[in-house]
Amino acid sequence: MPKSLERQNAARQDVARQDVTIAGGGLAGLALALALRHGLGTDARILVADPAFGRASEAGDLRASAIAAGARHLLEALGVWDRVAEEAEPIRSMEITDSKLADAARPVFLTFDGDVAPGEAFAHMVPNAALQDALTDGARAAGITLLAAGIADFRADGPGIALTAADGTAFAASLLCACDGARSRLRERAGISTVGWTYDQSAIVCTVGHERDHEGKAVEHFLPAGPFALLPLKGRRTSIVWTEASGTTERLLAMPPALFHDELERRFGLQLGALDVLDKPRAFPLGFQMARRFVTERLALVGDAAHAIHPIAGQGLNMGLRDVAALTEAVTDAARLGLDIGGPEVLERYQRWRRFDTLAMGMATDGLNRLFSNRSDVLRLMRDVGLGLVERVPRLKDVFIRDAAGLTGAVPKLMRGEAL
Ligand SMILES: Cc1cc2nc3c(=O)[nH]c(=O)nc-3n(C[C@H](O)[C@H](O)[C@H](O)COP(=O)(O)OP(=O)(O)OC[C@H]3O[C@@H](n4cnc5c(N)ncnc54)[C@H](O)[C@@H]3O)c2cc1C
């Protein structure tokens, strides 16, 4: 038999029967693979399938994510945090302003200390590319099979689920996790519908260098078109998430660099000195989407496949990582009792745990965006009074910070820093 065929056959045997198959090797999918390895041990057969594994990464993901303290505990338990720690910038304080674009000053209405506990930042800014690399290296080192093909088809079949990858590989698993993003084909294939809407807003993302230190301060300027967020990165660099009406973002991105720079400076200000745009700005269309169910027979939706929200509070990935921790706990507990890890009890427990929490966070971010992204002077007055009241009640601020840190509600063990 030719060597290439032998290799293909060996690879197919290797993927023939899995305990868990994960469709999607983005941040949520790879974190789930590592968390399940942690919970189920080295004997578990775990496969992650993603067509992107086979592609050379083009520009890569230039975004950075605010990783909340709860999500950091999870990444620590998975041995991933050490791999990104050098690139992670703690958010030491936060300021919220509310003004019109043309206003001469951006008055601060609300401030937060960044610590959720003494010396522990409520969140760190981590470049997505660094996190993706760390998770991929971690998955390889943990013996997780990475298949460079999408999942094309699947059918729940009594004790297992039969799967076909786009390269023709056929195999079976006890549980299929759809981590294939907001436009999940697996969710659609499973007949799970979604509720949602678009915001007619997009977020421009870019990295900006500046002359002076940001001192770990994150700033959110609420402007009538939407929030303009300055998020501190390592060194004298800041990640910008700049929300505008979708037509405006297109115009801004089509501008010559000098004009784009002027528009950026109008919003950013000169408090950190001269600015330098360090990468090619990109726009992400924004919307709200929630799956009507998170599970069906032998299938669980995780991450953006289950929910996609406005980035106004930097919570989308944190919610996905909370799904990861909750599903891992449900699966691990079942495995320890000798139960079927893809059975209805496990899936229902996961859905009960995550669905309400997700809906609450999704509606909160939707409400915030609607309250702040508008030109009404009456609403502006009301929200500024509200912000001023919160500013005067330290206990209320503590509640908000613990919530943003992902440490309130039914927190899964891995996010509390506890062993499974
Ligand atoms: C501008 C912006 C800023 C943000 N900032 C933050 C932040 O600060 N903090 C935060 O918590 N969140 C933030 N988010 C949200 C966060 O980026 C997302 O929630 C997160 O990246 C989703 O990860 P995921 O792995 O669920 O999905 P994706 O990243 O979409 O990954 C899906 C993967 O599935 C693969 N795939 C697709 N189809 C198939 C198939 N059939 N079979 C197998 N694989 C398939 C794709 O190739 C891809 O790799 C932000 C979002 C935006 C737009």
Contact 89, 237 (CB under 8 A): no
Which of 291, 119, 137 lies closest to 216 in space, CA to CA? 119
Q: How far is CA 232 from the centre of its chain?
A: 17
**Tell me, what's the pLDDT at 14?**
64
- Report the C-alpha gap between 317 and 309 in whole angstroms: 10
**Tell me, what's the pLDDT at 105?**
87
A 10 A CB-CB count for 112 gives: 20
CATH number where 23 lies: 3.50.50.60
The kind and range of the H/E element at 123 are strand 123-127
Query: In this structure, is residue 382 part of a structural domain?
Result: no
Distance 35 CA to ligand 1 centre (A): 18
Instruction: State whether 95 and 203 are in the same domain.
Output: yes
Query: In this structure, is residue 168 part of a structural domain?
Result: yes
Q: Which residues of the chain have pLDDT under 70?
A: 1-14, 56-59
Q: Is residue 406 in contact with ligand 1, taking CB distance under 6 Å?
A: no
**Tell me, what's the pLDDT at 12?**
53
Instruction: State whether 73 and 150 are in the same domain.
Output: yes
Query: In this structure, is residue 179 part of a structural domain?
Result: yes
Instruction: State whether 321 and 264 are in the same domain.
Output: no
Query: In this structure, is residue 275 part of a structural domain?
Result: yes
pLDDT digits 0-9 by tens, 284-323 = 999 999 999 999 999 999 999 999 999 988 899 999 999 9
Distance 133 CA to ligand 1 centre (A): 14
Q: Is residue 150 in contact with ligand 1, taking CB distance under 6 Å?
A: yes
Residue nearest to atom 18 of ligand 1 (CA): 317
Instruction: State whether 323 and 268 are in the same domain.
Output: no
- Report the C-alpha gap between 295 and 190 in whole angstroms: 9
Boundaries of domain holding 228: 81-125+198-286
**Tell me, what's the pLDDT at 391?**
78
- Report the C-alpha gap between 322 and 328 in whole angstroms: 10
Last residue of a domain, one of 232, 253, 286: 286
Q: Is residue 180 in contact with ligand 1, taking CB distance under 6 Å?
A: yes
- Report the C-alpha gap between 347 and 330 in whole angstroms: 8
Number of domains in the chain: 2
**Tell me, what's the pLDDT at 171?**
92
**Tell me, what's the pLDDT at 6?**
47
Q: What residues contact residue 145 under an 8 Å CB cut-off, 6+ apart?
A: 14, 15, 18, 45, 46, 47, 48
Q: Is residue 314 in contact with ligand 1, taking CB distance under 6 Å?
A: yes
**Tell me, what's the pLDDT at 59?**
62
Distance 302 CA to ligand 1 centre (A): 11
Q: Is residue 205 in contact with ligand 1, taking CB distance under 6 Å?
A: yes
**Tell me, what's the pLDDT at 273?**
97
Contact 344, 55 (CB under 8 A): no
The alpha-helical segments, DSSP class H, found in 116-245 are: 128-141, 185-189
- Report the C-alpha gap between 210 and 274 in whole angstroms: 6
Angle among Cα 306, 226, 65 to the nearest 5 degrees reads: 50
Distance 380 CA to ligand 1 centre (A): 33
Instruction: State whether 112 and 10 are in the same domain.
Output: no
Query: In this structure, is residue 388 part of a structural domain?
Result: no
